[in-house]
């Protein structure tokens, strides 16, 4: 029981750290975001950080649920897709805010969206709760992809 708790904690903290490191390497995200011409429905910058904190916790929980699953099917594809989406998630902020390569970041966001859909499709074999954890992430990335392309067009 205690071992499972520490695995859960490691998954959530690990994913939160990935998000924090991405933000660190991206530089002054709030300052860059404040200067951009924004498309309709662009959220205030103060909300975005809160949303990502919750999403990273859900992403970490999903990872734990896949790891903890008793399903005998091989988890290689699920782990690979999880890793791909996490790497794409990590580099997006760095490229968008750190490098201001808006168009490249927008296509990374599109690939991230695809990798999340594929992850959800694979996770269903291991945990319906992991799938549910990824639904808010999917919805946010659909919105973020719209914002990313909108920001690229306007800037």
Q: For the chain, how are helix, strand and coil distributed in percent, rounded to 5?
A: 85, 0, 15
Residue 73 scores a pLDDT above 90? no
Q: Is the dihedral of CA 12, 18, 23, 27 positive or negative?
A: positive
Domain count across the chain: 1
Render pLDDT for 106-140 as a digit per residue (tens, 0 to 9).
Answer: 999 999 999 999 999 999 999 999 999 999 999 99
Query: Can you give the CATH number for the domain in which 95 is found?
Result: 1.20.1260.100
Helix (H, G, I), strand (E, B) or coil at 38: coil
Render pLDDT for 42-70 as a digit per residue (tens, 0 to 9).
Answer: 999 889 999 999 999 999 999 999 999 99
Q: Which domain holds residue 35?
A: 2-154
pTM: 0.94
Interacting residues of 49 by C-beta distance below 8 A, sequence separation 6+: none
């Amino acid at each position: 029981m205690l071992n499972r708790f520490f695995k859960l904690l490691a998954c959530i903290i690990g994913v939160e750290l990935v998000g924090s490191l991405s933000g660190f390497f991206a530089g002054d995200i709030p300052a860059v975001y404040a200067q951009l011409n924004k498309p309709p429905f662009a959220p205030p910058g103060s909300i975005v950080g809160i949303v990502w904190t919750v999403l990273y916790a859900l992403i970490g929980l999903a990872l734990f649920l896949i790891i903890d699953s008793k399903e005998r099917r091989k988890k290689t594809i699920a782990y690979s897709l999880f890793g791909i989406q996490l790497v794409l998630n990590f580099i997006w902020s760095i490229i968008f805010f750190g490098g201001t390569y808006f168009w490249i970041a927008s296509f990374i966001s599109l690939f991230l969206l695809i990798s999340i859909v594929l992850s959800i499709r694979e996770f269903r074999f291991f945990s319906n709760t992991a799938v549910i954890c990824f639904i808010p992430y999917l919805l946010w990335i659909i919105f973020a992809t719209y914002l990313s392309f909108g920001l690229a067009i306007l800037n």
